[in-house]
Structure 1
């Protein structure tokens, strides 16, 4: 979300006095509000000469946060939007595309869950290459752990296009290194503003946003028992869904696995997160070979438990 200073022109109540009050409490951006106990902040405001105006400013910021969430839409509006704007993008793997009845759907947040070395990043890189080639779209790849490999992308591009190096395709896969959740918020808001201002101009529409991995950004802020980390996690999830819906792009995020009861592996980020993605897919890899399995954990229109197998080539 934006720095408070950038909101002053649109919201006069968030003036320099309000910004100074917030700064004295370590608040500089809308996200910072999610890290504070708002009842304590309101109590501090009560002690100021302009307490009523400061409390109006706090309410205004909260309304800005609320507007992240999608508005109510009726069934007809949703159907028309799905038919006209939400296309299906092939992943480049026939097994996955068959399982998902075509691939990743624009307007949806898809989560790919899997243990270490299961092939999550390789699948993301292949999806990026395939969307750029087959759908002639731009791909934004948020790399949170130095996993993005331009050589691997080049390999997939050559593999898909028949050993031909395609410079234009490579230039349409944009990578941002993002190592904390606040950097991700900044990049996503810049992306939102950029794509909305461009509209349908240009010869290459953004089709896919990939975050590899979302869990490496969120896990560090979930420590302790306070609500702030969970609030930020929810805010990140709703922002990704908002971008998917409003910009008509497919959003793909990866999530690692952690030990649960009895030592069994389970998706990280817990119960609060699992309801956020539209689609959850579980990825596993046969030990010692290239064959992978992917199954549906959650899908708005397909049965859970369905499985497909595919091969990630070296």
Structure 2
């Protein structure tokens, strides 16, 4: 995203006074603007003599962010992208791997939708455990859902009994491949994603220990508090977050898995939260449900670039 100063000629409201105001808050680019707490920024603007113009400038930058989108690709570029070395990462859940014809694809953002008791976190923990056998995993925990004990249980189930002598060392190696961050607001998430972007750009492609999977459990808990009302900043933050996630996935062959809760829809039928604007963000949307009083789960495709919607598989989840 561009430096704010480059927008001055095209957008008159982004003048020298607005740029000076932003600089006094450590904001020099559109990315800096995203990471900054907008409530604090607006409150600071209201204390200035030119508060009206400053708030118009803030609204203008939000509008620019809102219009960000992936660049258009022609057919040749799309074919080249599809032929790149983008692997499929097994989730460790037989039903999910069968449904997705192998697992999570690098370069794609996959969304797992389900109610609070459907087992989304358990799936995330199992996927992290399985991928960490060979690759680095970053787990962003927004609800205190990350459980090292559950991770250890999953890994113990995966280890071959013949490795008993070195089991503890193997367990420690795999556990050390999972980097967990507690994230409790959208600004912290954006900051971490920018740090990850810098890390991936400087990452040596050795194939061993590279971050290949990013999990956010859950994305909706960070975005929902900013939606609603008459302001546009919540919607802008949501779209910008989605844009950055897809950019990370595409440019660094990263598989990204995010979870989203459900809300009541027409006739009481549950539907994914975050609304219609978010609907177009994930490459893949999966709906997870759980049989009442059972560990049996259903996983179905809501959206997929290659596979038919409505396909469903069943699998067992372990508490």
TM-score of the superposed pair, with normalisation by structure 2: 0.81
Q: Does 1:131 align with 2:134?
A: no
Q: 1:200 to 1:67 in 2, by over 3 A?
A: farther
Partner of 1:140: 138
Name which of 137, 149, 152 aligns with 1:151.
Answer: 149
- Residue 119 of structure 1: CA displacement? 0.5
Name which of 245, 252, 258 aligns with 2:250.
Answer: 245
Q: Does 1:306 align with 2:304?
A: no
Q: 1:47 to 1:149 in 2, by over 3 A?
A: closer
Q: 1:202 to 1:45 in 2, by over 3 A?
A: farther
Name which of 259, 266, 291 aligns with 1:261.
Answer: 266
Q: 1:47 to 1:58 in 2, by over 3 A?
A: closer
Q: Does 1:272 align with 2:277?
A: yes
Partner of 1:51: none
Q: 1:310 to 1:144 in 2, by over 3 A?
A: same
For residues 281 and 318 of structure 2, the distance between their equivalents in structure 1, rounded to whole angstroms, comes to 32
Q: How does 1:153-302 map to 2 (within 5 A)?
A: 153-162=151-160, 164-165=167-168, 166-201=171-206, 203-302=208-307
| SS of equivalent to 2:157 | helix
For residues 15 and 199 of structure 2, the distance between their equivalents in structure 1, rounded to whole angstroms, comes to 26
| SS of equivalent to 1:239 | helix
Unaligned runs of 5+ in 2: 9-13, 162-166
For residues 262 and 12 of structure 1, the distance between their equivalents in structure 2, rounded to whole angstroms, comes to 46
The question of whether the paired residues in 2 share the 8 Å contact of 1:137 and 1:172 is answered with: yes
| SS of equivalent to 2:212 | strand
RMSD: 3.6
Deviations 1:145-165 (A, max 9, x none): 100001101111111113634
**Number of residue-to-residue matches in the alignment:** 296
The question of whether the paired residues in 2 share the 8 Å contact of 1:214 and 1:255 is answered with: yes
Partner of 2:164: none
Larger deviation: 118-127 or 218-227?
A: 218-227
Q: 1:21 to 1:263 in 2, by over 3 A?
A: same
Unaligned runs of 5+ in 1: 49-54
| SS of equivalent to 2:160 | coil
- Residue 254 of structure 1: CA displacement? 0.2
The question of whether the paired residues in 2 share the 8 Å contact of 1:293 and 1:309 is answered with: yes
For residues 147 and 262 of structure 1, the distance between their equivalents in structure 2, rounded to whole angstroms, comes to 31
The question of whether the paired residues in 1 share the 8 Å contact of 2:62 and 2:233 is answered with: no
The question of whether the paired residues in 2 share the 8 Å contact of 1:106 and 1:244 is answered with: yes
The question of whether the paired residues in 1 share the 8 Å contact of 2:122 and 2:318 is answered with: no
- Residue 58 of structure 1: CA displacement? 10
| SS of equivalent to 2:132 | helix
Q: 1:115 to 1:203 in 2, by over 3 A?
A: same
The question of whether the paired residues in 2 share the 8 Å contact of 1:68 and 1:239 is answered with: no
Larger deviation: 109-118 or 69-78?
A: 69-78
- Residue 172 of structure 1: CA displacement? 0.5
For residues 310 and 276 of structure 1, the distance between their equivalents in structure 2, rounded to whole angstroms, comes to 27
